[in-house]
């Protein structure tokens, strides 16, 4: 593979991403179901690869790009750091903590039950399938294409070479389940009176449907923190991300060469990014870093990752695993529906539907799907879902890091029941805490009031 191959791969990807945006802007079906442009691009790329083999000037290494792009994305997550909002009054504690428990349950129910289902049923029916198979469902659904690429790469390094394609397939099906399922539940919620802020969503703004923002509604991508005469602001932020991503890759190589420790490379990029966050904060360099800019760079990487992740799927592997994969995906959809319809109203009091619907979208792929669904049912964030999500992410991130970092090794090295037991224990603790604190509202009517109304 040469530098020219790299250039052409991204040039072709860019053509498809542009076509994907054009299709999203013009075709009502894609607008109605909020299909991301990068996903449309990926499906077109996949179709061209198989229907017209050799037609596209793309290398045979496009499947390696998701592993590279995820390093930059996780470096950006680390650079954003952690912070906690202070001064929350006691009236908000119950709402915030019950939502934290709910969001944690939505994660660990996938981390624990999907591998358990795979081990107890799928691996019995198909003995050649290893014990890591089920975690790929969670990586794709709860993590999205980026996490599926990272976890798939970790499995591949441990000998499960088909994991990357399976993970990308799970992520793709997860997003489709999120957008189509989300639309179904929104229609059901408006009909049943579960929604508190809308009666229908026909009024939804045009930019959310087409992806094109009119001139009067456009916002700045970020602030210029360096003078372009000396260094372009975008180059400055991109350089910081690349330093963290590159250092993470070098750390991975060091620990693998010296100690034969095959941890996920994206974890090191995240840790380097987090270290830089604290260094920059102490030295006041953070004053010259705009998170909006770094987020736009990582967002760009995510769109290209989705394209390459889908376009590089090996359909032969998907056919090979067709039946067990279908069973796993159906079980995954069952899990997210149960999380929405049972744990959602049980662990959220006011505006339960809006808050649970966001987590439903978030649990089937990416934050953006959850955000879009929330914008439909709660355009002004009156349910305070985004506020409480920021608080919850401080704690749920540690669960994610443990799962994605050590899950593949534990599942393939005979510690599968220990891994599953940890996830089930976390889920049980969250439920018990809510029961003890009387943050369990399963008996409340589903058409209950919104947050802040009549004690809700």
pLDDT at 23 over 90: yes
User: In the structure, how many helices (H) and strands (E) does the chain have?
Assistant: 20, 0
**What's the rounded Cα separation, in Å, for the pair 224 and 246?**
24
| DSSP letters spanning 114-131 | HHHHIIIIIHHHSTTS-T
C-alpha closest to that of 212 among 23, 368, 14: 23
Note the helical H segments in 312-351: 315-320, 322-338, 344-347
pLDDT of residue 426: 96
Cα 52 to Cα 40, 41, 344: the distances in Å are: 18, 16, 46
Stronger pLDDT, 343 or 83, i.e. the higher one: 343
Mean pLDDT of 329-344: 96
- What value, to the nearest 5°, has the Cα angle with vertex 12 and ends 9 and 18? 135
32's tokens: 């109605």
Question: Using an 8 Å Cβ cutoff, are 46 and 317 in contact?
Answer: no
**What's the rounded Cα separation, in Å, for the pair 330 and 323?**
11
pLDDT at 85 over 60: no
pLDDT above 90: percentage of residues in the chain? 49
- What value, to the nearest 5°, has the Cα angle with vertex 142 and ends 138 and 144? 100
**What's the rounded Cα separation, in Å, for the pair 124 and 118?**
8
Contact residues for 342 (Cβ-Cβ < 8 A; gap 6+): 442
Digit-coded pLDDT (tens) for 345-398: 999 998 999 999 999 988 987 666 787 788 778 877 888 887 788 678 778 878
Question: Using an 8 Å Cβ cutoff, are 399 and 107 in contact?
Answer: yes
pLDDT of residue 316: 87
Backbone angles phi, psi at 145, to 5 degrees: -60, -35
- The alpha carbon of residue 152 and the mean position of all alpha carbons in its chain are separated, in whole angstroms, by 15
Question: Using an 8 Å Cβ cutoff, are 362 and 369 in contact?
Answer: yes
Q: Name the burial class of residue 374, with classes exposed (0-12), middle (13-18) and buried (19+) by CB atoms within 10 angstroms of its CB.
A: buried
Stronger pLDDT, 182 or 379, i.e. the higher one: 182
Sign of CA dihedral 382, 354, 215, 307: positive
DSSP state of 33: T
C-alpha closest to that of 109 among 263, 307, 334: 334
140's tokens: 């794709």
pLDDT at 86 over 90: no
Q: Which of 217-231, 294-308, 376-390 has the lowest mean pLDDT?
A: 376-390
Dihedral angle over CA of 29, 210, 301, 235, nearest 10:
170
Digit-coded pLDDT (tens) for 241-265: 999 999 999 998 898 788 776 666 7
Contact residues for 51 (Cβ-Cβ < 8 A; gap 6+): none
C-alpha closest to that of 369 among 190, 171, 223, 138: 171
C-alpha closest to that of 379 among 349, 354, 348, 347: 354
Q: How much is the mean pLDDT over the chain?
A: 87
pLDDT of residue 90: 46
Digit-coded pLDDT (tens) for 389-435: 867 877 887 888 899 989 999 999 999 999 999 999 999 999 999 99
Cα 28 to Cα 25, 202, 210, 336, 375: the distances in Å are: 8, 13, 9, 27, 19
Q: Name the burial class of residue 330, with classes exposed (0-12), middle (13-18) and buried (19+) by CB atoms within 10 angstroms of its CB.
A: exposed
Mean pLDDT of 69-78: 85
Question: 3-state secondary structure string, 88-113?
Answer: CCHHHHHHHHHHHHHHHHHHHHHHHH
Question: Using an 8 Å Cβ cutoff, are 32 and 183 in contact?
Answer: yes
**What's the rounded Cα separation, in Å, for the pair 290 and 296?**
10
**What's the rounded Cα separation, in Å, for the pair 382 and 280?**
34
User: Maximum CA pair distance of the chain?
Assistant: 65
pLDDT of residue 200: 63
pLDDT of residue 93: 83
């Amino acid at each position: 593979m040469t530098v020219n191959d790299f250039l052409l791969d991204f040039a072709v990807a860019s053509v498809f991403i542009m076509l994907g945006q054009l299709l999203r802007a013009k075709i009502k079906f894609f607008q109605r179901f909020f299909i991301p442009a990068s996903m449309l691009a990926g499906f077109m790329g996949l179709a061209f690869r198989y229907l017209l083999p050799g037609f596209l000037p793309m290398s045979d290494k496009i499947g390696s790009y998701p592993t590279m792009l995820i390093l930059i994305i996780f470096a950006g997550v680390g650079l954003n750091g952690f912070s906690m909002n202070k001064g929350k009054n006691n009236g908000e504690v119950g709402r915030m903590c019950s939502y934290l428990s709910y969001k944690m349950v939505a994660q660990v129910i996938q981390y624990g039950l999907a591998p358990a289902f795979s081990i107890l049923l799928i691996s019995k029916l198909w003995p050649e399938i290893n014990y890591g198979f089920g975690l790929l469902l969670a990586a794709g659904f709860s993590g999205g294409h980026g996490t599926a690429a990272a976890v798939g790469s970790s499995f591949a390094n441990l000998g499960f070479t088909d994991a990357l394609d399976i993970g990308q397939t799970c992520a793709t099906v997860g997003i489709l389940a999120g957008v189509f399922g989300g639309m179904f539940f929104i229609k059901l919620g408006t009909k049943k009176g579960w929604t508190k802020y809308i009666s229908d969503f026909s009024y939804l703004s045009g930019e959310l449907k087409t992806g094109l923002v009119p001139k009067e509604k456009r916002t700045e991508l970020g602030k210029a923190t360096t003078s372009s005469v000396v260094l372009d602001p975008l180059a400055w932020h991109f350089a910081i991300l690349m330093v963290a991503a590159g250092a993470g890759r070098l750390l991975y190589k060091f620990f693998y060469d010296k100690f034969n420790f095959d941890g996920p490379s994206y974890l090191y990029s995240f840790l380097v990014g987090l270290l830089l966050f604290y260094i920059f904060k102490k030295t006041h360099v953070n004053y010259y870093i705009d998170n909006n800019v770094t987020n736009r760079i990582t967002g760009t990487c995510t769109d290209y990752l989705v394209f390459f992740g889908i376009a590089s799927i090996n359909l032969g592997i998907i056919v090979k695993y067709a039946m067990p994969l279908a069973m796993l995906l159906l079980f995954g959809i069952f899990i997210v529906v149960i999380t929405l319809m049972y744990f959602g109203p049980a662990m959220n009091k006011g505006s339960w539907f809006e808050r649970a619907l966001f987590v439903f979208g978030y649990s089937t792929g990416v934050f953006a799907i959850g955000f879009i669904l929330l914008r439909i049912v709660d355009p002004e964030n009156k349910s305070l879902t985004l506020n409480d999500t920021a608080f919850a992410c401080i704690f749920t991130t540690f669960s994610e890091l443990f799962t994605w970092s050590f899950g593949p090794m534990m599942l393939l090295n005979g510690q599968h029941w220990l891994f599953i037991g940890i996830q089930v224990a976390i889920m049980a603790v969250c439920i018990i805490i809510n029961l003890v604190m009387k943050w369990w509202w399963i008996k409340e009517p589903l058409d209950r009031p919104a947050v802040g109304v009549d004690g809700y």
